[in-house]
Amino acid sequence: MKIVVIQGPNLNMLGIREKSIYGPMKLEDIHSQMRTFAEQNKLEIEFFQSNLEGEIVDRIQECLGDADGIIINPAAYTHTSIAIRDALSAVQIPAIEVHLSNIHQREEFRHKSMTAPVCAGQIVGMGPFGYHLAMIGMVQILSEINAMKQAKKAKIQTQETGSNNS
C-alpha cells in the first residue's frame, strides 16, 4: 500500500513560524515520524510540499493509479481552493485532511473547509500527532477496502464454481 502525504503552503516553515499555533516541530521531523510508522507497517510513503496551488493539484492527479491513499494538509488552501477539492474528488482515492491547529477555534474564515467534504475524514487540533492518527486511519480505511475487494472476488469465484457444477 502506498500513501502520499501532500503538504500545502507555508508548512515548509514549521518550527519557525508561529510556534504558539503550530508548535516547534519541523516538517522534516513530522515526516521522519511518519516514515518510521510506514516502515513498521510495511507501507510505502512519499512526501510532497508546495506553496503553489497548481502543483498541489498536479500531485493529487499524479496519485491516480499510483497511490492507495492521500494524507493532505492543504493549509491556507483548505478554505479557498475549489481546484484542490475537485482534484481530490476526481481521483477517488481515500484522503484524510490534517491540520496541526484546531481550525474551528481560530478566525472565522478558517472554520470552513472546502476540501473536507471530499475526504474520508478530517483531523484537527492534535498537533503533529494528527499525522500519526491519519496514518492509523488510512491503514484502517485501506484494509477495509482490501477486505471488501477480497470478499467480492471470493463471491464471484463461488458463483463461477457453482455455475460450472450445474
As a dihedral over the C-alpha atoms of residue 131, residue 134, residue 138, residue 139, rounded to 10 degrees, the angle is 70
> Which residue in 137, 123, 133, 20 sits closest to 73, CA to CA?
123
Q: Please indicate whether residue 99 is annotated as part of the active site.
A: yes
pLDDT tens figures, 18-64? 888 888 899 999 999 999 999 999 999 999 999 999 999 999 999 99
Residue 68 and residue 142 in contact, taking contact as beta carbons nearer than 8 Å: yes
Residues in CB range of 84: below 8 A, 6 or more apart: 53, 56, 57, 60, 72, 74, 77, 114, 115
**Average pLDDT value for the chain:** 93
% of the chain at pLDDT higher than 90: 77
pLDDT of residue 20: 81
For 27-30, which contacts have Cβ atoms below 8 Å and span 24 or more sequence positions?
Answer: 29/128, 30/128, 30/131
* Domains of the chain listed by start with CATH number: 2-164 (3.40.50.9100)
Grid cell in block for residue 56: 498541489
Which residue is catalytic, options 22, 77, 131, 132?
Answer: 22
3-state secondary structure of 7: strand
Q: Is 79 a catalytic residue?
A: no
How many C-beta atoms lie closer than 10 Å to residue 33's C-beta?
Answer: 15
pTM exceeds cut of 0.95:
no
Q: What is the pLDDT of residue 156?
A: 83
Q: Judge whether residue 166 has pLDDT over 60.
A: no
pLDDT at 22: 86
R_g over Cα of the chain? 18
